[in-house]
A = this chain, B = another copy of it.
């Protein structure tokens, strides 16, 4: 059995450490020396795997966006009604927040445009486009209220994302699942008929 994963081991270690540092201290407060200290990988080696510091953040960003994208795709495939899909996406986001808070932190709350040159705002990234489409379909099938799909998306996910943010900031102290039902209910109401 081939041992494929070994190949890019260092690269992954770098990305993993960078993610933690970027979310803990922020991109600009994290030096390549920090990544070196955290991983034990020398700066020279780090720069062998990535052209520069920005490239690390870029790789991270696109990897995580892609993963999120696929998850949404999968939900779309396995759920047929808008209400089921929406509920599944909320569950996904909550679960991800519990299991990998740095991932959500980085995707949702870091200001990518400040350190990634020529990157579009998150709200026009692929996963968000997909979410808008789901909203549009829900309107066409008469499941949700008719409105600008991007506004619908803003309303629905505004609730969810803000709850996640306040949880990560320590303001909503209980485990996230305990808020799940109420958040879901509130979010759905924003787009319900």
List B contacts of A142 (CB < 8 A): none
List B contacts of A192 (CB < 8 A): 189
What distance in Å separates the Cβ of A35 from its nearest Cβ neighbour in chain B? Answer: 17
Residue contact A186 to B123, C-beta cutoff 8 Å? no
Also in contact, A151 and B123, with CB within 8 A (given A189-B190, A190-B187) = no
Contact of A155 among B115, B154, B159, B170 (CB under 8 A): B159
As a 0/1 sequence over residues 164 to 182 of chain A, the CB contacts with chain B under 8 angstroms (1 = contact) are 0110011110000001001
A54 to B140, CA, bound (A): 51
What distance in Å separates the Cβ of A148 from its nearest Cβ neighbour in chain B? Answer: 7
> How many A residues touch the partner, as a band?
35 or more
A157 to B159, CA, bound (A): 8
Contact of A29 among B114, B150, B163, B172 (CB under 8 A): B114
Residue contact A151 to B170, C-beta cutoff 8 Å? no
As a 0/1 sequence over residues 128 to 151 of chain A, the CB contacts with chain B under 8 angstroms (1 = contact) are 000000000000000000011011
Residue contact A123 to B166, C-beta cutoff 8 Å? yes
From DSSP, what is the main secondary structure of chain A's interface residues?
A: helix
A25 within 8 A of B: yes
Also in contact, A179 and B159, with CB within 8 A (given A186-B190, A190-B187) = no
Pairs A–B under 8 Å by Cβ, sample size 14: A25-B114, A29-B114, A109-B111, A122-B169, A124-B169, A151-B163, A151-B183, A154-B165, A154-B172, A155-B162, A155-B186, A161-B162, A186-B189, A186-B190
A residues at B contact (CB < 8 Å): 25-26, 28-29, 109-111, 114-115, 121-124, 147-148, 150-151, 154-155, 157-163, 165-166, 169-172, 179, 182-183, 186-187, 189-192
